[in-house]
Structure 1
Amino acid sequence: MSSTHDHTPAHDHDQEHSHSGHGHSHAPANFNKAFAIGITLNIIFVAIEAFYGWRINSLALLADAGHNLSDVAGLVLAWGGALAVKLVPNARHTYGWKRATILAAFANALLLLVAMGGLAWEAIGRLMSGDVSLHAQGVTIMVVAGIGIVINTATALLFMRGGDDLNIRGAFLHMAADALVSAGVVVAGALTLWMGWTWLDPVVSLLIAAVILWGTWGLFKQSLHMLFDGVPDSVDPDAVRKLLQGLPDVTEVHDLHVWAMGTSQIALTAHLVTDTTDTAALLCEAEEELHEHFEIRHVTLQLETPAYGQICGLRPGMRCQRE
C-alpha cells in the first residue's frame, strides 16, 4: 500500500507584522550607543560600590553592588539579544545563535543565586555574632548609594524612548527599579548615622538579597525550562492544539512541538492531517493565527493525507511502513 505525503513547510515569520499589535521587536541599531553607555556607567559604579563596601565592611553596599552587577548582566543580555538575532544562520548553525540569550540568562541567574546566598549567609552570621560595627560609615554609604541613584536614573533615561519595544522597556524598568533600591541604601545609611542603628547594615543587605533572590529564582526556573526546550510560559500548548485543530479541513493534529529559539522568539512544528487541496491557503491561515494569538513566528507544518496520517512514523507507537 502506498500513500501520498504532503510535507510542506510553512514560511519562517521572524519579522515583525505591523497588523499584530504585539511588541516583541528587537533593539534597533540606534540603541547600541545607549547600551554601551549604560553598561560602561554601571561597570564603573559596581567597581566603586564594591571597593567601598569592602573597605568599610558594609554588607549593604556589597549586596547593592551585586544587584548592580545584575544590571550590567541584564543590559549585556538585552544588547546581546538584539545583536544575536542579526547573525545569519549557516549550514552548521541552522537556527543561528538565538539560544545564546537563554544560556546567558541561565548563567546570570545561577551566579546571582550563589552570590546573594553567600551574602545572606554572611549577614546572618554577623547578626548572630553581634559583629555589626559600622565604624561611622553612614556618610560613605549615603554618598556611594547616592551615586548609584544618579547612574541608574541616567541609564534608565537612555531607554525611556524605547517603551514600545519589550526588550528596551525591560532594560528601562530594571534600571528605574534599581534607582529605588539605591535610594533604600541611602535611607539605611542616614538612619545608621542619625539613630546609631548599627544592626541596620546587615538587615538591609538581607532585604536586598531577598529581593534579588525572589526575582532571580523566576529567571533561573524559566531559563532552565527553556534550555530543555520547554514550552514558553506565554504559550498555552492546549490552546495551540485547539487552534490548529479548528482550522478548515484539518481533522487531526499530532507531533506538536513548541519551544523557544531564544529569549524572544518561539518556534513550532506540527503534523496536520487534512484532505484539502488548497494547501497554500491553509498554511497561510495557520501562520497568521499562530502569530496573532501566540506570537509564534517560526512555524513549520507538515500536511498529511488522512491515509498517511494513520501510519505516520511520528505518531505514538507507530512505525511508517510501505507495502
Structure 2
Amino acid sequence: MSHNRSQQHAHEHYHGPAGAYNRIFALGIGLNLIYVLVEAAFGFSINSLALIADAGHNLSDVLGLVLAWGASLLVQRPPTEYRTYGFRKTSIFAALLNAVILLITVGMISFEAIQRLRMPEGTQGGIMIIVAFIGVLVNTATAILFLKERKTDLNIKGAFMHMAADAAVSLGVVASGIIILYTGWERLDPILSLVISLVIVLGTWGLLRESFDLAMDAVPAHIPVQEVIKYLQKLPGVKEVHDLHIWPLSTTETALTVHIVKPDAEVNDELTSRICRELHDKFGIDHPTIQIEKASTSKTCRTSNV
C-alpha cells in the first residue's frame, strides 16, 4: 500500500500575489467607501431612493470586499496541529456571507421602492446624473483591479462581479436622472430601484449557489469528475477505482482522495508522484492522496463513490 500527498503546489496561490492582493483590496475598499458616503449624502439631500438604494448596495460591496480581504489574509496562515488545513476555508465562507448580505440588501431596497411607488417623492435629476456618473468611474476602476484573477478565485470573482454590476447599475441611474430631469416622471426612481434589485439578484444567485456548494464540500464546478475517473481507470495495471472524494480546501485549492486497485501493486513513489502531477496539470487538483491496493477494499469501506 502506498500513500502520497502532492505538496509542490500546496501554496501556489498564496505566495507572490498576497502583497498585490492587499494593495488591490485596500484601494478598492477606500474608493468605494468614499463613494458610498458621497452617494448617500446626496441621495438623502435630494430625496433620491435610487441613489440611496445604490449607496446601500455599494456599502454591502464594501463589506464584501472587507470580508474577502480578511479571508485572503487568513488563508495565508499556516496549518497548525489543531487546524490541519489552516484557515483556507474562510475564503469560501466569505463568498457565501457576501452573497447573503447582498440578498438582504435587495429585500430592503425592494420594500422601500414599493412604498415609493405608492407615494412618489420629488428628486433632483441633475445631481443624480453627476453622482451616478462618478459611480460608473469608481466601480469600473475597482472591477478592473480584480479582472485578472477573477477566473481562478471565487473570492475575487465575487468582488469583480459586484463591481461590474455596480458600474452597469450606476449607468442605469444616470439614465433615470436624465429622464426625470426632462420629463418629471418621479415614479421612475423607485422603478429603477426595483430593476437594481433584480440585477443584484441575478448577479448574486450564481455566487450564492457556488459558494454554498463549496461550503458543503461539493466537487468544485471546474472539476470534471467523470474525466478524473476515466483518467485513473486508464492507468496501466489499474483494475478498479473506488472511494473517490473530491472537495475544496479553499476557493483556489482542491483536494482528492482515492483508492486504486492494482493487483501488481508495489510501493512506487515514482508512480504516485506521476499521478499527483498529472491530476494537478490536467484537472487543477492540488492535494491528491492516493492509496494503491492489491485487492479491493471497497466492501469494507463505509462509503463508496465509484
Say which of 65, 89, 100 aligns to 1:75: 65
Pair 1:146-2:133 in alignment: yes
Task: Give the AA of the match of 1:237.
Answer: V
Say which of 280, 283, 286 aligns to 2:275: 286
Question: Which deviates more from structure 2 when the two are superposed, residues 218-227 or residues 28-37?
Answer: 28-37
Give the distance between the partners of 2:223 and 2:129, measured in 1 at CA.
44
Say which of 259, 276, 281 aligns to 1:271: 259
Give the distance between the partners of 2:293 and 2:229, measured in 1 at CA.
16
1:232-262 deviations in Å (ceiling 9; x for gaps): 1111222222221222222111111111111
Partner of 1:20: none
Contact 1:256–1:268 under 8 Å retained in 2 = yes
Partner of 1:239: 227
The 3 A distance-change label for structure 1 pair 229 and 163 is closer
Q: Secondary structure at the match of 1:88?
A: coil
- Of all paired residues, the percent bearing the same amino acid is 45
After TM superposition, the runs of 4+ consecutive aligned structure 1 residues lying more than 6 A away are: 23-26
Shift of 1:106: 1.3
The 3 A distance-change label for structure 1 pair 56 and 310 is closer
Give the distance between the partners of 2:191 and 2:233, measured in 1 at CA.
55
Give the distance between the partners of 1:88 and 1:72, measured in 2 at CA.
27
Question: Which deviates more from structure 2 when the two are superposed, residues 64-73 or residues 235-244?
Answer: 64-73
Shift of 1:310: 5.6
Q: Secondary structure at the match of 1:263?
A: coil
Give the distance between the partners of 2:38 and 2:208, measured in 1 at CA.
28
Shift of 1:50: 2.7
Give the distance between the partners of 1:222 and 1:123, measured in 2 at CA.
29
Question: Which deviates more from structure 2 when the two are superposed, residues 241-250 or residues 91-100?
Answer: 241-250
Q: Secondary structure at the match of 2:17?
A: coil
Give the distance between the partners of 1:154 and 1:216, measured in 2 at CA.
20
Partner of 1:62: 52
Contact 1:267–1:298 under 8 Å retained in 2 = yes
Pair 1:107-2:97 in alignment: yes
Give the distance between the partners of 2:259 and 2:6, measured in 1 at CA.
15
Q: Secondary structure at the match of 2:256?
A: strand
Shift of 1:219: 1.3
Equivalent residues in 2 for 1:103-142 (5 A)?
Answer: 103-127=93-117, 129=118, 131-134=119-122, 136-142=123-129
Partner of 1:211: 199
Say which of 155, 179, 200 aligns to 1:191: 179
The 3 A distance-change label for structure 1 pair 227 and 166 is closer
Structure 1 unaligned spans of 5+: 1-5, 17-22, 317-323
Give the distance between the partners of 2:39 and 2:112, measured in 1 at CA.
18
Partner of 1:10: 5
TM score, norm. by length of structure 1: 0.82
Shift of 1:174: 4.8
1:262-288 deviations in Å (ceiling 9; x for gaps): 111111111111123262232122212
Give the distance between the partners of 1:37 and 1:245, measured in 2 at CA.
48
Question: Which deviates more from structure 2 when the two are superposed, residues 291-300 or residues 235-244?
Answer: 235-244
Q: Secondary structure at the match of 1:250?
A: coil
The 3 A distance-change label for structure 1 pair 220 and 35 is same
The 3 A distance-change label for structure 1 pair 224 and 157 is closer
Say which of 56, 61, 78 aligns to 1:88: 78
Task: Give the AA of the match of 1:150.
Answer: L
Shift of 1:40: 1.2
Partner of 1:320: none
Shift of 1:176: 4.4
Pair 1:302-2:291 in alignment: yes
Q: Secondary structure at the match of 1:259?
A: strand
Contact 1:254–1:315 under 8 Å retained in 2 = no
Contact 2:50–2:190 under 8 Å retained in 1 = yes
Shift of 1:165: 7.3
Contact 2:60–2:105 under 8 Å retained in 1 = no
Partner of 2:37: 47
Structure 2 unaligned spans of 5+: none
Q: Secondary structure at the match of 2:247?
A: strand
Question: Which deviates more from structure 2 when the two are superposed, residues 276-285 or residues 171-180?
Answer: 171-180
